[in-house]
Every structure is written in structure tokens, then in C-alpha cells.
A = this chain, B = another copy of it.
């Protein structure tokens, strides 16, 4: 298979971790006789620095023409601390999501047996946790009209949803539930928000089309508690944009490190693959950034094109790196100098020689 992949490393640790994902994808291409072409684009703070825009036209072109996009991370401390900045790195990421209509963001949360000790939660609390969050990604309060009054004294954001926007991601989530444990939990705040009531209504209307899927409803406040006290109750969580952002980052505590969580952002024409973690600017160029989230995002890219054996091999490499503690310091209690690229090298080697790779 020939794939043109847009590579948008972005800010912070983005370039370091995507470099490892590229390494791994190249190893897969060699092993399985595929051709993966990478084309690099600027986005976020890095793009502002060079072009003045967080999402240059050239990047949009690269992203639109590619078969898939591999995205790094976004954000810079400078902008975090400056609420007055009109041009912001995040506009690059949000712009791509919107322009490519990547409405379904899929975030799997799986507790690795070998990492149960790393979690802040008790082992028995999280063992066997395996669920997936379907987060609506192109609407809601992220994209509704924003206002700032002229005197700067009043600001607003609209959270707006249409039935169509809810239905398409809900269908995705219901289908996923059908091929999993057949349970879907809608998370909203329908006791307060009109938009949440629309979500609840639409999901109630779609539910009969998926009679073998059990549907439950949780308020977001309760959901953040349930996610910790009983994470095994979940199979597929469906939710709107902001609540999905919150729940998925919170869920990282189950897995033991935000550096493990991958995601796929899927539209009808385009698909992007990105870690859940942010730019983590404090870690830049220290070799401590965990590349696994980016590598697992690459595995989701392979899934997307039906390259099941390839994706499985990548995941096996990740499992092995975790088992042998060839991991960055966020996970490692055994070795203290395994760097970002060392983890990538190990998984690359594993793909080249699945039978032989061991501690090296």
C-alpha cells in the first residue's frame, strides 16, 4: 500500500515524539512492503514563529492532499500566560479539525497489566479497564461564536449543536459499541444545558436502531467521579467536545501516564492521528518525552487503512517495551536513562526482528 502522510509535529515535544512514530512507520513499510511518504507541515506556535499564522495555507494544502495526518502537539507557555494574544497556537489544531471536518475523536483507554503499579489508583480498581471515548471534535463551545465586548469587560462563548452533528458521531460510537461490549454511555449535563438535552434526545432516538447496545446516561460531574471509582463499567463513552477533552485527560490517571494515550480524529474524507497529551514544553529536548502515545497513534493510523497485522505488530512492540521497561522516566522505575529515541529504536528493532529483540 502507498500512503501519503502529512507530518505536522507542531510545538513542544511534538517533533521529538512524532520522529519516533515515523521511525516505527518506516520500519513497518520496510517489513511489509508498503510505501509511506511523509510531507512535513508547520502548525501551531512553530508556524506562528515562521509565518505569522498558526495554520499556514501550505499546511492546509499538505493536510488536505494527504491520505492521513500524523500530528504532534500544540501550545506554548508564552501564549498560555497571555490571555490577550489574538493569534494562538491552538488555532492551528482547531483549524485543521474544523477544515477537514474531523468530527469523531476516538480515544481508547486501556490499563496495561504491566503498568497497574504506575497508576495513582489502586490496582484492583483499574485492572482490566478497557473503554473508548468518542468525543465530538468539530463543534460545541470550541467552535461556537466568541465575543469580547469593546471595553473588554464581558466575554462569551456559545456551545451550539445541531442534530446532524450529534447523529454522525453517535452512529460511529454505537457501531463501535456493537463490536465491543455493547454498552454506550452518553455523558452530558442535560439537567442544566439545552445543548445536552438535544444530545440526550438524539441518542434516545437512535438507540432503537442498535437494539443490542445498552445505553446509559451520566452527568459530566458524576462521570468524572465514576471514571475513577468504577472505570470497568465503561465500554464506549460518547460525549460532546469539551466534556470529551476533560474526561480523556482525566482517564490518563487510570493508565498511569498521559504519555501513553493515542487518538484518531476521523471525518468522512480525512483522518488525523494524534497523542492526547499536550506540548509539555518543560520537557523539550531533554529526551524524556514519552513517544508511546505518538507511536500508538501511528498504530491507529494503520488500523484505519485496514493494516491489521501491521498495527498489531506495532502494539506488540509497545507491549514489549513496557514489559522490559524500555520506557521514558514517566513510567520507568528500573532504568533511569532510557530516552525518547531509545524507546523508538527499541520498537523499530522489534518490528525488524520480532523474535529476537530483547534487552539491548
1/0 per residue A153-168: CB within 8 Å of B? 1111111111110000
A200 at the B interface (CB under 8 A): yes
Q: Is the CB–CB distance between B147 and A159 below 8 Å?
A: no
CB pair B278–A250 under 8 Å, yes or no, is: no
Interface flags for A23-54 (1: CB within 8 Å of B; 0: not) read 00000000000000000000000000000000
A154 with B159: CB separation less than 8 A: no
Q: Could you say which of A73-81, A281-289, A347-355 contacts chain B?
A: A73-81
Q: Is the Cβ of A195 less than 8 Å from the Cβ of B83?
A: no
Check A121 for interface membership: any CB of B closer than 8 A: yes
**How far in angstroms is the closest Cβ of chain B from A259?**
12
Residues of chain B contacted by A225 (CB below 8 angstroms): 249-250, 252-253, 258
Q: Within 8 Å of chain B (Cβ to Cβ): is A337?
A: no
Q: Is A180 an interface residue (CB 8 A)?
A: no
Tell me the bound Cα distance from A224 to B221 in angstroms: 11
Point out the residue from B94, B122, B161, B192 that lies within 8 Å of A155, measured CB to CB.
Answer: B161
Give the residues in chain B near A88, CB-CB below 8 Å: 191
- Partner pick for A194 among B121, B146, B220, CB 8 A cutoff: B146
Residues A146 and B193 in contact, CB atoms below 8 Å apart:
yes
On whether the beta carbons of B228 and A156 are closer than 8 Å, the reply is no
Q: How far is the CB of A147 from chain B (nearest CB, A)?
A: 7
Q: Does A222 contact B (CB under 8 A)?
A: yes
CA distance A225 to B75 in the complex (A): 18
In the assembly, what is the distance between CA of A354 and CA of B162, in Å? 60
Residue contacts A-B, CB under 8 angstroms, 15 given: A83-B190, A141-B141, A141-B159, A141-B193, A142-B192, A144-B156, A154-B162, A154-B198, A155-B160, A155-B161, A155-B195, A156-B158, A156-B195, A222-B249, A250-B250
15 extra interchain contacts, Cβ-Cβ under 8 A, other than A148-B197, A221-B249? A84-B197, A90-B192, A146-B194, A148-B194, A152-B163, A152-B198, A154-B163, A155-B195, A155-B197, A156-B159, A221-B246, A221-B248, A221-B250, A224-B250, A250-B250
Closest 4 CB pairs of A and B: A83-B197, A221-B249, A155-B198, A224-B250
